Amino acid sequence: MRIAFMGTPDFAVPALRALHQAGHEIVAVYCQPARPAGRGRKIRPCAVQQAAESLNIPVYAPVKLKYQPQEFEQFSSLNLDVAVVAAYGLILPSEMLNTPRLGCLNIHASLLPRWRGASPIQSAIWAGDRQSGISIMRMDVGLDTGPVYFTQSLPITTTTTAQSLHDDLAELGGKLIVQTLDYLHSNPNLPYTPQSSEGVCYARQLVKEDGKIDWSLTAQEIDRQIRALTPWPGTYSFLWDQPLKITKATIGSSTSQSEPGTVITADLQIICGDGQTIQLLEVQLAGKKAMPVADFLRGNVINPGTILG
């Protein structure tokens, strides 16, 4: 098929590579413009642009698409069978949605209609969902409201992190979009299913403040927060009036009636609101590298009774 691929972050790269490997004619890749990144704030192309250039696919990086007739003319001139969208970051205007012969398909990282929106992977873990998955959706003008061709689920376990689920879903998205296009090639009228009006919920855009830990919550709630928000925006508390980033933790084995946030063991088990503990495994002080707790404690003495928060 003749395809335009539209995506920006790492999540979209496996799908781009899978479509290329499957032999589809990817005539254009759309992504967000290169922006400053990293500590040096150097201009850096996004992951999808880097992948597209390595595959010698033309790259387009418009700042916006709405009310941009020249962008629509460019898109229309591609004479597409289908556009595939994966975490692109720009809203496609209705005239673009209707331009490809078979429409625009979105690779969405949730089991729609649950977790429409910006942060479906993190939201599923944080909420305590037992599964997530990929939905291949035919896009309409709503926010992730279009009918769905196929879904496939993956379990969320007590050790699943946002990074591990992201990577698994990215690979699954690549496989499922290739399968979907195979079916569409054989049957352009492939049926799809409108989303249910029940179970709809939205995953909002995350902000750094979401990572602040409230130790009065239960150990399970805090554990889910840490697993959901690592690596971004990251979870943190305060130690000696400095932010202490918690990059890895698990539910501890100790219990106590001490004040939530209290360090009760030398290996940094922290009391939560239900009397259970969170065992810190890897931490990072501002300006330092993340390190295992054992290494951190070699240079920092934290006595039991210290209160975080």
Tell me how many degrees the CA angle 90-94-97 measures, rounded to the nearest 5: 75
Pair of tokens at residue 7: 């995506």
pLDDT at 43: 86
Give CA separation, 191 vs 11, 43, 139, in Å. 27, 43, 14
Q: Which domains does the chain have, with CATH numbers?
A: 2-203 (3.40.50.170), 208-299 (3.10.25.10)
Question: Three-state SS string across 64-100, please?
Answer: CCCCCHHHHHHHHCCCCCEEEEECCCCCCCHHHHCCC
pLDDT value at 39 more than 90: no
User: Nearest Cα to 136, choosing from 146, 154, 116, 150?
Assistant: 150
Q: Bridge-partner residues for 171, per DSSP?
A: none
pLDDT at 282: 98
> What's this model's pTM, rounded to 2 decimal places?
0.95
User: Nearest Cα to 173, choosing from 294, 14, 6, 5?
Assistant: 14
Half-sphere exposure of 293 (CA within 13 A, CB side): 17
Q: Which residues are annotated as a binding site?
A: 110-113
pLDDT at 208: 95
136-149: pLDDT as tens digits: 999 999 999 999 99
Q: Which residues are annotated as a binding site for (6S)-5,6,7,8-tetrahydrofolate?
A: 110-113
pLDDT at 140: 96
The sign of the torsion formed by the CA atoms of 192, 174, 54, 46 equals: positive
User: Nearest Cα to 246, choosing from 206, 215, 218?
Assistant: 215
| Amino acid sitting at position 103 | G
Contact (CB, 8 A) for 109 and 149: no
pLDDT at 35: 84
pLDDT value at 12 more than 90: yes
240-280: pLDDT as tens digits: 889 999 999 999 999 999 999 999 999 999 999 999 999 99
Share of the chain above pLDDT 70, in %: 99
3-class SS of residue 216: coil
Half-sphere exposure of 238 (CA within 13 A, CB side): 6
Which residue's entry shows tokens 């009397």? 275
pLDDT at 144: 97
69-120: pLDDT as tens digits: 999 999 999 999 999 999 999 999 999 999 999 999 999 999 999 999 999 9
pLDDT, mean over the chain: 96
Give, to the nearest 10 degrees, the angle between helix 219-229 and helix 120-127. Answer: 170
